[in-house]
Structure 1
């Protein structure tokens, strides 16, 4: 079993519902949705959303990890609850549609330091719960293609994109072929128009679980931040 610390809006948030329909699965309930549930979609929609569908709608804070041998799930959940209760909710000023390489995601309109600081605190607070990466897991990250700071992060924190390398993103697609990127951009811009160009409340911390490697990630616990 693996665990992850993610951000996702609350279960009943309109963005959560819309993203679940778009991806084809709700990470809170594990309910599956067919393309028919959201109306017209691009050709190959199910394939183009397969990877983010498995992970559920989220932004990674602490990437998936196996528990260290000295701790239990109860320990993790207790510390997560304490962390959330002592961390103030805040707002990202603007959410926009972004393209990162060959995939699309909802991202902040500009770098927001409170968000960077929040993510870094999550990484460091929950590091004692993470078992060391196996050689296979390190190789899977293709360290030869990472920058030196990213390789150092991978070995120190188990994930390349933390601290100064962290960029908040809520993934909406897998890899989209170059010839289809303009079409996908327009579809997503229309589909998520009610949520882009507007603030996003960071009001909770979610513990996700993966029962076995390759299984869908589901929400084990969603914890409101202080003042949310």
Structure 2
């Protein structure tokens, strides 16, 4: 591991869901390569345009948002900390996922909330905070352009990201922002595409350390299994 601009801790699906999702986005973070995008009929826009924003992150759900390493921290230390942290965690089971519109984009989200998932996300954000470099003035200014609540502003200041702790919502992003009619149409298309894989509960038994390369693409560097 070296030469990465930022790091993150993601939940990355495995098996058929990962394969279908990576093929839809056109980027396989596990293999570190582009892949031909699945051709779906009746899309509101070309698949490449719909997925341009989420593609660079790969198929994932954010747990610890992307961050630059703080002064004095290095990749080996981050790897060791992630290994130790995940060794103390037990797997958690989520209810089945559903394809929904979330704000302006389409995502796979749990059909019911999970207190265990919220606790995992909050613990992960806090545990790896020592590795995060403070946001630059430019990064803060970019975030302040969004319509954040006072609480989200406070979370941004404390944790470097506004949608953590009680504001966290687990989601696997499948599109960029779309107007409502186009988003509704894509939601239905992707619900049919993923339908065979949405019936069962989802087990989270690992987190993945991700690295962002110089082109802005995220690579899966290591998967840490929970063994607590």
TM superposition score category, shorter chain reference:
over 0.9
**Counterparts of 1:15 and 1:44 in 2: how far apart (Å)?**
22
Local SS of the residue matching 2:169: coil
Q: Is the 8 A contact 1:143 1:151 kept in 2?
A: no
- 1:167-186 equivalences under 5 Å are 167-186=169-188
Match of 2:53 in 1: 51
- Taking the aligned partners of 1:108 and 1:18, their CA distance within structure 2 comes to 18
Alpha-carbon spacing, 1:143–1:127, altered in 2? closer, same or farther (3 Å)? farther
Measure how far apart 1:177 and its partner are. Answer: 2.5
How many residues are paired up? Answer: 222
CA RMSD of aligned residues (A): 1.4
* 1:145 alignment partner, SS class: coil
The residue aligned with 1:207 is: 209
Residue in 1 aligned with 2:40? 40
Give the Å deviation of 1:144: 5.7
CA distance in 2: counterparts of 1:194 and 1:142, whole angstroms: 40
Q: Structure 2 matches for 1:118-133, cutoff 5 A?
A: 118-133=120-135
Q: Which residue of 2 aligns with 1:22?
A: 24
Asked whether 1:2 is paired with 2:6, we answer yes
Could you tell me which residue of structure 1 aligns to residue 218 of structure 2?
217
For 1:105 and 1:127, the matched residues in 2 are separated by 27
Aligned partners of 1:161 and 1:130: how far apart in 2? 16
Q: 1:190 aligns to what?
A: 192
Q: Give the C-alpha shift of residue 143 in structure 1.
A: 5.3
Structure 2 match to 1:67: 69
Tell whether the 8 Å contact from 1:9 to 1:203 is kept in structure 2 after alignment: no
**TM-score of the pair, normalised by structure 1:** 0.93
Deviation at 1:80, TM superposition (A): 0.2
**Worse overlay, 130-139 or 91-100:** 91-100
1:85 matched to which residue of 2?
Answer: 87
Judge conservation of contact 1:23–1:52 (CA < 8 Å) in 2. yes
CA offset digits 1:87-106 (Å, max 9, x no partner): 01111022111211110111
> What is the CA distance between 1:53 and its match in structure 2?
0.5
SS at match of 1:52: helix
SS at match of 1:194: helix
Per the TM alignment, residue 55 of structure 1 is displaced from its structure 2 partner at its CA by: 0.7
Counterpart contact for 2:108–2:172, Cα < 8 Å = yes
